[in-house]
Amino acid sequence: QPIAQPHRRIFKIIVIGDSNVGKTCLTFRFCGGKFLERSEATIGVDFREKTIQIDDEVIKLQIWDTAGQERFRKSMIAHYYRNVHAVLFVYDVTNINSFENLTHWIEEYNRFCTLNQTSSLIPKILVGNKCDLESDQKVSTNMAQTFADMHQMPLFETSAKDDSHSDHVEAIFMTLALKLKNS
Ligand code: GDP
Ligand code: MG
């Protein structure tokens, strides 16, 4: 009699956005539960894993994190976008440029992801980070929500540093995991 194995699947999630928006901190917050006080600029690709259980299913989330460096981009970009299951587009609520550049990131994502899969079926989430810096907020919730609606993705405003006044980092990844589980 074979022992029943829990259903186990691995999902690749990529985190995209300008340098310095907090991609690495968000990933650490979720996978390690900590805020990195002084995180180094990521070189190349770095991935972390977190195994979670939803109902009777064990799911492994493999989270890919990068810097937007040229050297990385030329050699790794196709690899980075290959077989992606979900995407987080991240901007910094205190940095208008990081919000405006999302258009570029979405274009790039569309270009590479359609090469190997139906990119429209991949769950996407828009994440406004650094919400703890309330007084410096430059990207309003309204602006971000309009953009999110236009691109048909849910918006989460969060902080990798202090999520007491915003959406919890955990909730963002759990939302994604639930969507993936039911996909
Ligand atoms: P990445 O380049 O997108 O990976 O950004 P990092 O995760 O390296 O973070 C860039 C800088 O922003 C670092 O100095 C972090 O300490 C800081 N940072 C990241 N997330 C937050 C946040 O939610 N709030 C605040 N106040 N600072 C943050
Ligand atoms: Mg980084």
**Arithmetic mean of pLDDT, 4-12:** 76
User: pTM for this one?
Assistant: 0.90
Residue spans of alpha helices (H) in 15-69: 23-32
The rounded percent of the chain whose pLDDT value lies above 70 is 81
Of 18, 111, 25, residue with least CA distance to 69: 18
Among 52-61, 65-74, 158-167, the range scoring the smallest mean pLDDT is 65-74
**Would you state the pLDDT for residue 10?**
92
**Would you state the pLDDT for residue 132?**
96
**Would you state the pLDDT for residue 80?**
83
Residue 68 banded pLDDT, cuts 50, 70, 90: low
Residue nearest to ligand 1 atom 14, measured at CA: 38
**ipTM surpassing 0.90:** yes
Ligand 1 pocket test, candidate residues 14, 20, 129, most atoms within 8 A of CB:
20
Q: 87-122: per-residue pLDDT in tens? A: 999 999 999 999 999 999 999 998 887 655 665 678
Dihedral sign, Cα of residue 6, residue 119, residue 67, residue 40 = negative
The closest ligand to the CA of 22 turns out to be: 1
For residue 75, what is the DSSP state?
Answer: H
Residues lining ligand 1, CB < 6 A? 19-25, 39, 42, 67, 129-130, 132-133, 159-161
Closest atom of ligand 1 relative to the 133 alpha carbon: 26
Residue 170 banded pLDDT, cuts 50, 70, 90: very high
